[in-house]
Amino acid sequence: MTGQMVRVSPSRVAAVPDLRPRMPAPKRGWLIPGGDELFRSVYTGFQVGAPTSFAVCSAVSGDGKTTLSLGLALTFAQDLPDRRVVVVETDLWRPVLAQDFGLEPAPGLVDALLDRVPTHEILRPTSLDNLSLVVAGSAAGSAQRLLRSSRMPQVMDELRHMHDVVIVDTPATLAHSEVSLLARMVDDVVFVVRTGVTPAHDLASALGRLQGAKIRGIVVNDARSSVPNWVRRLVRL
């Protein structure tokens, strides 16, 4: 057989077990130059020390809640390797995490809320050992009811017990009233606005809806100006 080419059918290849030694996945770097430093500057703004949980909210969709949640979670996980971090996707209307990470949609948060699976089974590992994801889960008929159910605080408590940092990626505040409930289940709320997207009056309305929650502050996302620097200097903006 040595030195001889053997033509085999794909079905036969599939049947042969992969006996190659398991190699650890190569460590991935940041695709965004300086991305870790950017997110680090945000979280140092609210000084994470003890086990904590916080929700990332925004007035409307597309403001960058998931991006900020992931960025913060990654920076936490990389900077604090001894801490366990989890990102919980609670936007059951527009879930993206499973698709972004090439994961099966279930089991996820919905499955835990419906008591189909225990909470520890909905945790999805990532390339980072101390970072887990909780995706939205199976399509739910009545997402509002699930997020408002008594099971939701229980799941949150369980996640808090299992992790040091729980980051809740919420739906748009103005579109879904459940966000105010979610905000009260966590220690802090971080609000995201996207320049050129978030209407100023919507921001005020959304912050009004979150009254009762502890809003740590606002992260301005996608802050870019079309005005050239020389013009800014000229008119002293």
Partner 1 sequence: MIERVLEAFFRHALLIVLPIIVIPLVVAAALYSTPPQYEAQAGMWVEQATYLTHSDDVNRYLSPAVNQKNRLWELMQTRTFLFGVAGKTSMKDLTTAQNGFEQISAIFARDFDVTAGGEHLLVLRFRSEDRDTALQVVTTIVEMFKSRYAADRYGQAQVAITFYQSRLTEAEAQLVSARSDLAKYLTANPSVAASLTTSGLDAARVNPGFAEAQRQVDIAQRGADSARDSLERAKLDVSAGAESLDLGFRLTDPPQASTTPSRQLKKLLIYPIAAVVLAVVLSASLLMLFALSDHSVRSLADVGPDAVILGVLPHLRAVGVGRRQGPAITRRAVGFVAGAIVPLRSLRGGR
Question: Which residues of this protein are in contact with partner 1, per CB under 8 A?
Answer: 25, 28-33, 35, 38-39, 41-42, 45-46, 62, 64, 66-68, 70-71, 73-74, 77-78, 96, 100-102, 126-128, 131, 133, 190, 193-201, 203-204, 216-228, 231, 235, 237
Of the two residues 187 and 222, which places its CB atom closer to partner 1 in the complex?
222
**Residue 209: its H or E element:** helix 200-209
If the CB atoms of residues 20 and 28 are measured against partner 1, the closer one turns out to be 28
- C-beta separation of 69 from 57 below 8 A: no
Residue type (1 letter), 71: G
Q: Which C-beta is closer to partner 1: that of 139 or that of 220?
A: 220
Give me the least distance between CB of 167 and partner 1, in Å please. Answer: 12
Q: Which two tokens stand for residue 43?
A: 């979280």
Shortest spacing between CB 112 and partner 1, in angstroms: 21
Q: Give the 3-state secondary structure of residue 57.
A: strand
State which amino acid sits at residue 216.
R
Which CB, 46 or 93, lies closer to partner 1?
46
In 3D space, the residue among 183, 173, 130 whose CA is nearest the CA of residue 153 turns out to be: 183
Torsion of CA 172, 207, 45, 96, to 10 degrees: 0
User: Cβ 93 to partner 1, closest distance in Å?
Assistant: 16
Cα separation values, 22 from 103, 124, 126, Å:
20, 20, 17
Residue 58 is classified by DSSP as: E
Least CB distance to partner 1 at residue 209 (A): 15
Q: How far is it, in rounded angstroms, from Cα 134 to Cα 138?
A: 12
CB of 35 to partner 1, least distance (A): 6
**Residue 187 Cβ, how far from partner 1 at the closest point, in Å?**
15
Q: In what helix (H) or strand (E) does residue 169 lie, and over which residues does it extend?
A: strand 165-169
Q: Considering the complex, state which of residue 70 and residue 146 has its C-beta at the smaller distance from partner 1.
A: 70
Residue identified by tokens 């916080």 is: 54
Give 113 or 213: the residue with its C-beta nearer to partner 1. 213
